[in-house]
Every structure is written in C-alpha cells, then in structure tokens.
Amino acid sequence: MHQDPLQATLRPAVQEAFQTLFGADIPADRIAFQATRPEFEGDVTINVFPFLKQSGKGPEQTAQAVGEHLQAQVAQVEGFNVIKGFLNLVIADGYWLGFLGRAAMADILAFPDAGRSTMVEYSSPNTNKPLHLGHLRNNFLGHSVSRILEAAGHQVVKVQVINDRGIHICKSMLAWQRFGNGETPESSGLKGDKLVGKYYVAFDKAFKAEVEELVAGGMPKEQAEKQAPILLAAQEMLRQWEAGDPEVVDLWKTMNGWVYEGFNSTYARMGVDFDRLYYESDTYKLGRDEVLKGLEQGVFFRKDDGSVWCDLTGDGLDEKLLLRSDGTAVYMTQDIGTAIQRFREFPDLTGMVYTVGNEQDYHFKVLFLILKKLGYPWAEELFHLSYGMVDLPSGKMKSREGTVVDADDLMDEVVQEARKAGEELSKLDGFSDEEKARLFERIGLAALKYFLLKVDPKKRMLFDPAASIDLQGHTGPFIQYTYARIRSLLRKADEQGARPEVGGKLSLGPGEREVIKLLHHLPTVLQEAADRYDPSSLANHTYELVKAYNTFYQGTPVLKEEDAAVRDMRLALSHAVAEATRKAMWCLGIEVPERM
C-alpha cells in the first residue's frame, strides 16, 4: 500500500502541533491534504476548520499558529500563508529535488506486494456475433484495472465467462443451416465471428418476415412473435442441444470454434488477454446444488409450483427466482455457482471484480446479497465495475439488425485516422513502410483506449474517432508524442555526454516545480485508481503531467543550458517523466513509441 511520503511526514507533525499548541489530540485520518490552488502560493493545503473545537480559536488564528509551528519544526516546510481557514504550505526546493533524484534512479510506480489476490472478469461475450464498441470499453476497462492492480502489488487473475449457450446461439445455428449453403470462414473470406453474426442478422430478418405474414393472415402481433415457425424451430434446437443431440452439438462446436478464432484475433489486436476461461455451457448448472443446500438451510423457499426463490424484500429488493418449476437453473443460479467455484479454485483470492455494463446493476446487487446469505465471507469483497454505454455520433447500436459498431471496424477507423494525421504532419522521414504501419497501429489503438478510459466508467459517453486522434488535444496520441519527444531529447543528451542526475545546490523554477509535484503525486493516484477500480483518474493525471512537461519544455532550455548541473537536473526531470509516463500508459494498456 503506497503512502504519500510528504503526507506521511506532515500528518504526525500536524498532530504534534495541535498537542503542543492547544493540548488537543486530533485523529490522523481526519487530517486532509490537497494541492494548493494555482492562484495561491504554496504546494500543500490543510483545512483547519474541522479542528476549531480542539484549538478553541478562530480559523485564521488556528491556521497561523499551526503554520508557524510547522515552519519551525519541519525541515520540508519553507514557508506558509493563510487564506481564511486554509493553511497553504510552501515545501522547500530541497525536498522536491531529493524526490526527483530518487525518481530519476528508480521506478516511482514500483509498489511492494500488497498481500492481495484479485480476480478480474471482463469481456464475457456471446458467441453469436462479433465483439462491438461496448465490448471495447468493457475489455479496456477490465484489462486496465488488472494492470493497475498488478502495478499496485496485487496478484491478479484475469478471467472471462463465454456465453456459448442459449436461444441466441441457436438462432445463428438455425439460420446457417437454412441459408448458409455450407459457407465457412475459409470459403467466404470472413472472420469466423463475423460469419456467425451474419446469420444472427439473417435469423432476425426471416423472423420478422414470418411475423408480418402471420399478422397479415389475421393473427395478433404479440401472438405471431411467439408462434413464428423459425422461432419455434430455434427453441426446439435448444432443447435438442440440452438433450445432447449429436448433430446439433457438433454444429454448435463447429460454429463456436469459428467464433473463438475470430475473437482471439480481435483480442490480440486489442492487446488484452486472460488467464482462465469459463464457458457458460459448463457453468450453467453449477449453482443448482448450492441453491438446494440453501433451501435445506432455510435461506431460500419453494413456491407451490416447485420453483425456488430468495426473499430479499427485507433488504429493500424483491423476490428472486433461482430454480424454475422444472428444476432448471437461471442466470443468477449460474453466477452463484461460478463465484463459489472460483473461490474454490483460487483459495487465496481476496477479491473479485466483475466488469459488466450498468444495465446489470440490480443483478449484481442481488448476487452479492445472496452469496452473503449463503454464509460466504468473501462475498463482502465482490465488486461490480459498472460502466455506462458508449455512443457514436451516428447513434445507438442494435445487434439483431446488423447496425452494431463492430470492434474490428472501429479499430480500422482509428488506425486510418492516425495514418491520415501522421501523413499530414510529414514527420516520418526515415520510417520504412512497415515501421509506419506499426506506428499508426499503436497511435490508433492508443487514441481509442485512452478516449474510452479517461472518462469515469459510471458515465455514459460519446466516442468521437476523429477527436480521439488529435495530437494537440486531451488524447492518448498527445501523451505518446510527449514521450517520444523526451526520448529524442535523451538520445541527443547521451550523444553529447550529458547525464540525467541531480546534484549541487539548485533552485527550481515554477515550471520544473509543477512537473515534479505532479510526478510526486502519481503513485498516490495509482493507489487510488487501484482502490476504486477506476483507470480514469490515472489517465487524466498522466495527461496533466505530460501537459505540464510540455509547458516546461517549450519555455525552458534543456540541452542549451550552460550550467551543467541545471542541465543535468532538467534531463533527470525529463527521464523521470518519460519512465513514469511509460509505466502509467502500460497500466492503461497503451504502448508508447520511441519515435513519432
């Protein structure tokens, strides 16, 4: 667990100040620090309003007395000022330079073992269609959270549940049987997931045509939608699958195999991976025995029709079906069994994160509550990483109608935008065609990932492919460009024999000081991102860091500085920013190129 080293020094000093000045004990966890607002002098601000009862004085008097005490007793505090009840501390250059010297020598984002083992579930697609824009946000969130936790010292297990059974799967299978004429990925030239998705759309078109025909013959629409022959045939195919019909199972294995090959190529391009795969066809019966045990223990109850329920009305929710009257399981039952199985397979787990859209908020609230009622203590450590929908300027997506924004197509689009922007800037002299293609791929995927990750996961968002690629905007490519600029600077410095190091008596300019402060705060931001399972704060802080560095770089000579000690300190600053940026972007699943 990371602790801000400056706060670790100041917190007990503030406690000691209140004890010495006012004879009062104040709890350490109530002392809050924040960055001093830009319009005031200072680096760290302390709000003394919560402690006026202990001091027995007004806010300005309290802050003035504490400030004088800290300046006299704490070497790092060089000065202070008081704005109402806010104490703004000026931290000495020596502290920041000392931190910079350590940062230039070591990875400031290298955390010790946190003693925690966390499982992160993400992706979890259906095998009846390709991955789409919503899956991109899901995968980038889950994979980034996995890396952030790993950077924060967790042991991480990355998993997904593949929804490979159910009526939606049978719809694609039946449509392929009827309309496919033996088409395969090889014969069609389509990726396997796209081929299967094509027949999911074909089923929907045939279904709608049959419904229209039945309605034209006088049948009410609601009844027609239940009686359409192609739907009844798909339902019969599902029954055959559950009964183990060899021909149906063989077709299911073949078409799912096509989909898995397609998924794997998409995952490889996205840069995400998994340690363990769970298949719904294996897990959908897992929870049944657990529910029956809960029934015996009185946790659940059985209705007159034989179905089994959990009464959550006392918890402000409703009654939840767990087993149908015929004894078959529902999704909730499956998730109960899967959670229990995971903690049996990985007994050292101290937490589990489910990356699933916010339309499932209620489902997970119920799941976690039921697991607590079943007596599993680890249920307290379950977290639903809920995220909002992603829209495009063109509007919402509908997979049945074939209007989904395909993940592969969107990645192609952002890479093409990167190519267009790169060729317009004409800064790629010396790059081979292969190197250009690799660079544009990196830039495009950085644009896509960063744009989706910089927004609070809970918020619905609009993704704009063109805006995401802006080299001067709040974007992944801007951060990549800054990193490449620093690497170029450091290569030139090395050719001139200059070395990044901090030594001698130095003073800091405001630009250098601002960059060092942002660097200093980065480990705390990473820890907070791990604690909240939220990459957006890390993404935004990294942007603020490189933006501040760019401001410093444009207004301050580095290699042209005549004072060697100042030059080398600025090189150390540049080196530390580059390494911190590289690690922070790794946490976001983004590669940074050495040249752009």
What tens digit of pLDDT does each residue of 73-111 get? Answer: 999 999 999 999 999 999 999 999 999 999 988 899 999
Can you give the pLDDT at residue 423?
79
Q: Which two tokens stand for residue 138?
A: 């899901």
Q: Which of 279, 306, 332 is the last residue of a domain?
A: 279
DSSP character string of 276-324: EEEEHHHHTTTHHHHHHHHHHTTSSEE-TTS-EEEE-GGGTS-EEEEE-
Count CA atoms within 13 Å of residue 310 on its CB side: 27
Sheet strands (E) in 163-207: none
Whether residue 85 is found in the same domain as residue 170: no
CB 273 within 8 A of CB 267: yes
Q: Is 508 within 8 Å of 93 (Cβ atoms)?
A: yes
**Does 60 reside within a domain?**
yes
- What does the pLDDT read at residue 399? 40
Query: What pLDDT is attached to residue 395?
Result: 52
202, 74: one domain = no
Position 563 in a domain: yes
Residue 487 in tokens: 């690497």
**Is residue 320 one of the residues assigned to a domain?**
no
pLDDT of residue 491: 97
Q: Which domain holds residue 175?
A: 166-279
Query: Which position has the token pair 């000093």?
Result: 13
**Which two three-digit tokens encode residue 379?**
């249920």
Residues 82 and 177 in one domain: no
pLDDT at 387: 97
- Residue 248's nearest CA partner among 257, 236, 260 is 236
Same domain, yes or no: 582 and 452 = yes
186 and 85 in a common domain: no
Q: Are residues 558 and 434 in the same domain?
A: yes
In terms of domains, do 442 and 577 share one? yes
Last residue of a domain, one of 35, 58, 91: 91
The residue count for the chain? 596
Between the alpha carbon of residue 593 and those of residues 244, 261, 327, the distances in Å are 51, 29, 56
Which strands make up the sheet holding 77-83, listed edge to edge? 33-35, 44-47, 86-91, 77-83
Q: Phi/psi class of residue 17: alpha, beta or left (left: φ > 0; alpha: ψ in -120 to 50)?
A: alpha
CA dist 459 and 228 (Å) reads: 39
Q: Does residue 413 sit in the same domain as residue 549?
A: yes
Please report, as a single letter, which amino acid is at residue 391. D
Residue 310 lies in a domain: no
Residue of 306, 304, 305, 312 lying closest to 332 (CA atoms): 312
Pairing label, strands 308-311, 117-121: unpaired
> In terms of Cα–Cα distance, which of 510, 533, 455, 414 is closest to 118?
533
Position 145 in a domain = no
Per-residue pLDDT of the chain (596 residues; tens, 9 = 90+): 788 999 999 999 999 999 999 999 999 999 999 999 999 999 999 999 999 999 999 999 999 999 999 999 999 999 999 999 999 999 999 999 999 999 988 899 999 999 999 999 999 999 999 999 999 999 999 999 999 999 999 999 999 999 998 899 999 999 999 999 999 999 999 999 999 999 999 999 999 999 999 999 999 999 999 999 999 999 999 999 989 999 999 999 999 999 999 999 999 999 999 999 999 888 888 889 999 999 999 999 999 999 999 999 999 999 999 999 988 888 899 999 999 999 999 999 999 999 999 999 999 999 999 999 999 999 999 999 999 999 887 654 344 444 568 999 999 999 999 998 887 776 777 889 899 999 999 999 999 999 999 999 999 999 988 889 988 899 999 999 999 999 999 999 999 999 999 988 899 999 999 999 999 999 999 999 999 999 999 999 999 999 999 999 999 989 999 999 999 999 999 999 999 999 999 999 999 999 98
- Looking at residue 431, what is its pLDDT? 87
Residue 356 is assigned to a structural domain of this protein: no
Q: Which of 279, 296, 320 is the last residue of a domain?
A: 279
Report the pLDDT value the prediction gives residue 69, as an integer from 0 to 100: 98
What is the total count of domains within the chain? 3
Distance (Å, rounded) from C-alpha 408 to C-alpha 132? 8
Whether 429 and 536 map to the same domain: the answer is yes
Which pLDDT value is given to residue 115?
Answer: 95
Residue type, 412: D
* Amino acid occupying residue 421: A
* CATH number, domain containing residue 546: 1.10.730.10
3-state secondary structure of 86: strand
Looking at residue 398, its pLDDT comes to 42
Instruction: Count CA atoms within 13 Å of residue 517 on its CB side.
Output: 21
Question: Does 284 map to a domain?
Answer: no
Asked if residue 137 belongs to a domain, the reply is no
Report which secondary-structure segment, H or E, holds 432: none
Task: Give yes or no for a contact between 200 and 171, defined as CB atoms under 8 angstroms apart.
Answer: yes
> Residue 245 to residues 172, 258, 311, 502: CA-CA distances in angstroms?
17, 20, 37, 73
Query: Rounded distance, CA 129 to CA 407, Å?
Result: 11
Q: Which residues contact 566 (CB under 8 A, 6 or more apart)?
A: 506
Whether 67 and 175 map to the same domain: the answer is no
State whether 81 and 209 are in the same domain: no
For residue 75, give the CATH number of its domain: 3.30.1360.70
- Which residues on adjacent β-strands are paired with residue 383? 353
Based on the domain organization, do 565 and 466 belong to the same domain?
Answer: yes
What pLDDT sits at residue 402?
45
- Distance CA(319)–CA(296), nearest Å, equals 18
